[in-house]
Structure 1
């Protein structure tokens, strides 16, 4: 058993684990990323469509600054980074040591297939006699006992299902590369780590064993939401066509039943799974679009919990534009008919029993703790909550009982993509500050070296062909290739090697190539996406620019292994020939370096801003914290208690003291931003204090944490009676005992006041939990109080659902209302009188309220528009700051080096704001820890001789990397900010904008060579 070391062990390689691993790797920490599955990606590997645009965006997690440290590759297929080692099919079995110095014993299960020899030809699948349900397609199709766990994963190799394999040995006999060994055993490895992040994701409730629910598992036309995701996938069992599993007929009517396995006391699942409502809406829209508008979609729900940023707007669009029906109801049964349809019997929100027939029923199944989570948590000394998920501590969403163990994502309860990535970033930040406190060092970014100037030299290409330890020996006619490539007058030599990825072989090649005039390298090898950086390092050792080294994938050609090498040889010839033509015409590109000012500017001194400032300061970087008010704290100053216990005022006092006692944080109160300019790593921001005095701060990053304001109601007679409060005002009078008990005999709360309407079409997320906590507080003050909550949808997502249950048990009455029939309020004899329609009694009810409490939500601060203009940032339709990507870059702006957190982003709770602040700080630290930023080699440039200064490219650039130098009269490119997307080149009418390495001459040479070789083999 080998003993190795890494700074951090990340358990779980879904998107949460990947995000944490990338964040820590970008800080220079060595990360070991493990997953019990044979492939990485988690649930996201099965989801082809994601809110809000139904596109995949996993690659947006890759670094944007110094991005060549990680291979720029489709992350649905693989992840490669210098500082990350990935071990799939691996579990943590034993733990010893103490926080900061853990010894973890890992068990890596044997795949029974050698990934270095398997060519992915599929011969083994053809002869395997065993068929079992395919987990990837959620049992809608079968697979063999030898299979690929995820179709798109790289390397695209097979694995043996040991549980179902009958050991017949046919696969071993027919494997052309002898990659299969049914007698391989599991291996153990012990690793020493300083900290652990648990990102193991979640399981889903399986309704099949309880067939009396809705027939899942008994009727093929009843499926779970994950099964439906596979059904509509273009690479799913029906290639995206909506066909009934029962008989293959087109689907015309689909029903979604919400809260299956969630919000169910009988199943001991008193929690909301948080994502199911948006999941169902997205799927209903997908069905509408896949059926060209001919599919009727209906979602049966109790509360439509669209509480996230832009979620409610999406709900309205789905209803009004796409025609998705939302039916508030409790579904009783789904009764199958002889023709395969299912009759949904339900009670609507007026108490009437109804029935509709559907071709397909989709169950929105809730979360369940991963198998083995309890055992793992016990080993790590981490507490679980009553539902069996990891229980974070206090206001932190990522800290645990163990100071060196952190959690993120769905291991603490089901999260959507953006919330998972926020928590993953927060966990990485907490881990980094913990390791820094223990003195754990990080690796430094390697400064690019360029020793030889070959710009004026004629191309001299050495071609290296790897046979991959003999596994590709019979697949290609190597002699023919040597002759074909060697006939090009630009080729210096053609060398064959057995194992190009071996350090010994690379050393030997270096000795052979050094005496030659080689100034370019072309390599044909296996797994170039894995070994490209190592192989390009050979070019670096020869003094070559990495762009003068090209690696071609020969492994994926699909060798037959039967001695007929014609087809594979033709493909190899085309691939190598076109790569050679491009390489001959490629110019070596330099790397620009720009210095980084290692100071951060945090705008906003609420809990989010203070948390971000402290996180950055704890890593040793100075911070300027700007607050426009007289004191720090923001909206936290007006919060007196929470639902789940932690004291917000103690949090406020402790955080303010910590900020004030930290020498590295400069606090400027009663100060505002009036101007800011610059680029990532070098901003200059002008600040102005209350006296009008201005001074400039130079900094490398900016974090916007300016918070939100409480909305002021303009309805329900607010301001006409001292008995009418907002929730914030009611919380204050309760906390300060300003109300006598007789003023709490009857309390009416109205939700969504000035929210989720035409003026503000968004949910403020925290209003429902605020109503619950104040209702409980009122009961504490007067146990005989009668409390009524008039609501549209109660947003008690996650484990807040338990408090909703407790409130009903305590006698608090919850009465739904429709937006077209809002409650009405009048003042009679100085007392508010509330009239509303009771949906169960089917009549109007009138209540005299000693206290009327309005849940008003949040709005952006009045000065947010001016601040956005001063910082050069965008806002959304509601006035909140607009992030770069709603799912994959939730704390980034498109303007590189500027980040957002807290309620400046959107309404959220204290704990959520703090997690987002940690995540934003983590993103900022990835820049601050560099003394200089190196641009990528393939960035945009300008042919100044033909540029007309039309400035079309400026508006086309999404990263604000282009500007006009008025003194020189030309367009200039900020190479540190440029991401090489090519939008400027596409928009330029004169061809002056281009991307280095993709010039017309190179691209056209590759195209011509491809066509020439392809036609030559017809």
Structure 2
């Protein structure tokens, strides 16, 4: 393509092929190699918009392809060269959250020579990792946590701010300013990227007599007793564990992933301390991912019993005086059984951080229907947000194991470093612009912009577009009642040319 552009001295290029989402950038780069402005390129998507959706009507599909190409050619004659602006990049990062993912991210950034600010709302780092003592595979989590903390506080590139609350985040990729409320008053941090690692919380159950009877505990509470060698566990001989408490139901349809493994881990620990203990795990589905299945087999071999239940036939916990019993329908016996329990342990899963919505509004990033942060693309951009320069990791994204949080934190840092390693970044060329003479400063465009890229300048009496934040979505153009906002690459002249050339 580059050679043809040079030989024929072309001033516009039209390509009729597949989706611009995957190949437009490649063709634009070839245009630039030949000395042609990348925005003098137009693409007719005759695959996704034609051949794929009309595969059983080849003749009509061919006619439609001709129309799409004719429209692209008509638009191309009105294309104008655009020059994206350049912006300097602040080489520091802001990490929101000081749990396992946040600490891993800060250390990974430091290893690559980039400074970071770790903002933690609690009075100490660690998050949920403070309550994990041992992984199913045998890793001593508290020793690992201690090592992480030592590395962080000794590293000159990492600034830790605890007991802090984020009040405001302004700016855009490469140039953010975050206002943080600390014990010493408000502080402003300047940085180039944001890594969201605010974690999640253990669900507090409202069922199975939790909080009403001291024998009803969560898996986290049981783990604290086990590894603290609490003498209250000594007389405990009959243990019943109930899975999927407050999860995989109408309110929270998602699986928290780690609960089954946590139950098996604690069951094995209890059996190791006293093999005579009678332990029963009441489950809907045992989800021990990958090689964690080996530990499920070990639990079976250790005589840990498993009874399945259906969502519409949940177990019942009954307390009478000092006695607690669990009644559950056993599908193998085809009858209900009553299990005496010295301890009933609930696998409660996690719920999203209640601050997700507030942080999401500050950064203009979305959450999914469950309340966790939503990535830009599950396969192509799994740790990116749609907002450039903002990344996610850990349980802020979804429930996961500790090793998965570490992996995702390193992935987010890799993406962030692609920004931090640059001295300058280019803004998008196809952005909106305002005709000041037509603008009435009504503010409708500002209200509708999903990226906060357009604001009304009261002094000037018109709206102004921040080209760095603008993604060229066209919402402001469509919402403007005065026809004062236009979009580079999709202005009226170009769009009307396509319409008029459509048969």
The interval holding the TM-score normalised by the smaller chain is 0.7 to 0.9
> Are residues 675 and 938 of structure 1, via their aligned partners in 2, closer, same or farther at CA, if it must alter by over 3 Å?
closer
2:391 alignment partner, SS class: strand
2:137 alignment partner, SS class: coil
1:533 and 2:29 aligned: yes
CA distance, structure 2, for counterparts of residue 767 and residue 879 of structure 1: 19
CA distance, structure 1, for counterparts of residue 215 and residue 396 of structure 2: 31
Pairwise CA distance, 1:609: 0.4
Q: Pick one of 413, 416, 438 that aligns with 1:921.
A: 413
Equivalences for residues 772-783 of structure 1 within 5 A: 772-783=264-275
1:981 and 2:482 aligned: no
**1:851-890 deviations in whole A, cap 9, x for unaligned?**
2211112123454454445555544444333444555544
Pairwise CA distance, 1:788: 0.3
CA distance, structure 1, for counterparts of residue 350 and residue 321 of structure 2: 32
1:773 alignment partner, SS class: helix
1:606 and 2:102 aligned: no
Pairwise CA distance, 1:848: 1.5
Aligned residue in 2 for 1:930: 422
Contact 2:31-2:38 within 8 A present in 1 as well: no
1:623 and 2:116 aligned: yes
Contact 1:578-1:1010 within 8 A present in 2 as well: yes
Q: Pick one of 384, 387, 393 that aligns with 1:901.
A: 393
Greater shift, 819-828 or 621-630, is seen at 819-828
2:35 alignment partner, SS class: helix
2:312 alignment partner, SS class: helix
1:673 alignment partner, SS class: strand
CA distance, structure 1, for counterparts of residue 420 and residue 323 of structure 2: 58
Q: Pick one of 770, 778, 787 that aligns with 2:279.
A: 787
Aligned residue in 2 for 1:668: 161
Aligned residue in 1 for 2:235: 743
Aligned residue in 2 for 1:347: none
Aligned residue in 2 for 1:910: 402
CA distance, structure 2, for counterparts of residue 885 and residue 506 of structure 1: 34
> Are residues 837 and 687 of structure 1, via their aligned partners in 2, closer, same or farther at CA, if it must alter by over 3 Å?
same
Aligned residue in 1 for 2:326: 834
> Are residues 618 and 963 of structure 1, via their aligned partners in 2, closer, same or farther at CA, if it must alter by over 3 Å?
farther
CA distance, structure 1, for counterparts of residue 391 and residue 247 of structure 2: 26
CA distance, structure 1, for counterparts of residue 16 and residue 207 of structure 2: 69
1:810 and 2:314 aligned: no
CA distance, structure 2, for counterparts of residue 572 and residue 792 of structure 1: 52
Pairwise CA distance, 1:790: 0.9
CA distance, structure 1, for counterparts of residue 70 and residue 375 of structure 2: 43
CA distance, structure 1, for counterparts of residue 254 and residue 205 of structure 2: 15
**1:291-322 deviations in whole A, cap 9, x for unaligned?**
xxxxxxxxxxxxxxxxxxxxxxxxxxxxxxxx
Pairwise CA distance, 1:925: 1.9
Contact 1:744-1:778 within 8 A present in 2 as well: no
CA distance, structure 2, for counterparts of residue 824 and residue 799 of structure 1: 32
CA distance, structure 2, for counterparts of residue 716 and residue 523 of structure 1: 68
Contact 1:745-1:786 within 8 A present in 2 as well: yes
Equivalences for residues 713-752 of structure 1 within 5 A: 713-739=205-231, 742-752=234-244
> Are residues 777 and 868 of structure 1, via their aligned partners in 2, closer, same or farther at CA, if it must alter by over 3 Å?
same
> Are residues 914 and 965 of structure 1, via their aligned partners in 2, closer, same or farther at CA, if it must alter by over 3 Å?
farther
Aligned residue in 2 for 1:452: none
1:591 and 2:84 aligned: yes
Contact 1:603-1:625 within 8 A present in 2 as well: yes
Aligned residue in 2 for 1:18: none
Contact 2:94-2:116 within 8 A present in 1 as well: yes
> Are residues 853 and 573 of structure 1, via their aligned partners in 2, closer, same or farther at CA, if it must alter by over 3 Å?
closer
Pairwise CA distance, 1:833: 1.6
CA distance, structure 2, for counterparts of residue 661 and residue 621 of structure 1: 15
**1:715-757 deviations in whole A, cap 9, x for unaligned?**
2222344332210011111112114665342111011222233
Equivalences for residues 310-325 of structure 1 within 5 A: none
Pairwise CA distance, 1:630: 2.1
CA distance, structure 2, for counterparts of residue 862 and residue 965 of structure 1: 34
Pairwise CA distance, 1:696: 0.6
Equivalences for residues 281-320 of structure 1 within 5 A: none
1:856 and 2:352 aligned: no
CA distance, structure 2, for counterparts of residue 827 and residue 572 of structure 1: 72
> Are residues 801 and 962 of structure 1, via their aligned partners in 2, closer, same or farther at CA, if it must alter by over 3 Å?
farther
CA distance, structure 2, for counterparts of residue 722 and residue 551 of structure 1: 67
Aligned residue in 2 for 1:970: 462
Pairwise CA distance, 1:626: 1.1
Pairwise CA distance, 1:822: 2.0
| Bigger proportion of residues as helix | 2
Aligned residue in 2 for 1:521: 11
> Are residues 589 and 787 of structure 1, via their aligned partners in 2, closer, same or farther at CA, if it must alter by over 3 Å?
same
> Are residues 577 and 642 of structure 1, via their aligned partners in 2, closer, same or farther at CA, if it must alter by over 3 Å?
closer
CA distance, structure 1, for counterparts of residue 486 and residue 377 of structure 2: 25
Contact 1:836-1:844 within 8 A present in 2 as well: yes
1:997 and 2:493 aligned: no
Aligned residue in 2 for 1:284: none
1:821 alignment partner, SS class: coil
**1:128-154 deviations in whole A, cap 9, x for unaligned?**
xxxxxxxxxxxxxxxxxxxxxxxxxxx
Contact 1:741-1:781 within 8 A present in 2 as well: no
> Are residues 799 and 686 of structure 1, via their aligned partners in 2, closer, same or farther at CA, if it must alter by over 3 Å?
same
Contact 2:279-2:305 within 8 A present in 1 as well: yes
CA distance, structure 1, for counterparts of residue 266 and residue 289 of structure 2: 18
Aligned residue in 1 for 2:144: 651
Contact 1:796-1:804 within 8 A present in 2 as well: yes
Contact 1:673-1:685 within 8 A present in 2 as well: yes
Question: Structure 1: which 5+ residue stretches go unaligned?
Answer: 1-499, 554-569, 1012-1018
Pairwise CA distance, 1:533: 2.7
Question: Structure 2: which 5+ residue stretches go unaligned?
Answer: 18-22, 46-62
Pairwise CA distance, 1:706: 1.2
Normalising by structure 1, we get a TM-score of 0.44
CA distance, structure 1, for counterparts of residue 137 and residue 110 of structure 2: 29
Q: Which of structures 1 and 2 has the bigger CA Rg?
A: 1
Pairwise CA distance, 1:687: 1.1
Contact 2:14-2:43 within 8 A present in 1 as well: yes
Pairwise CA distance, 1:910: 0.3
Contact 1:703-1:900 within 8 A present in 2 as well: yes
Q: Pick one of 612, 624, 634 that aligns with 2:127.
A: 634
Contact 1:603-1:702 within 8 A present in 2 as well: yes
Count of aligned pairs? 480
Q: Pick one of 840, 844, 847 that aligns with 2:336.
A: 844
> Are residues 837 and 616 of structure 1, via their aligned partners in 2, closer, same or farther at CA, if it must alter by over 3 Å?
same
What is the root-mean-square deviation in Å for CA atoms of aligned residues? 3.3
Contact 1:713-1:754 within 8 A present in 2 as well: yes
Pairwise CA distance, 1:670: 1.7
Contact 1:896-1:959 within 8 A present in 2 as well: no
CA distance, structure 2, for counterparts of residue 825 and residue 640 of structure 1: 28
> Are residues 954 and 785 of structure 1, via their aligned partners in 2, closer, same or farther at CA, if it must alter by over 3 Å?
same
Contact 1:816-1:839 within 8 A present in 2 as well: yes
Equivalences for residues 448-459 of structure 1 within 5 A: none
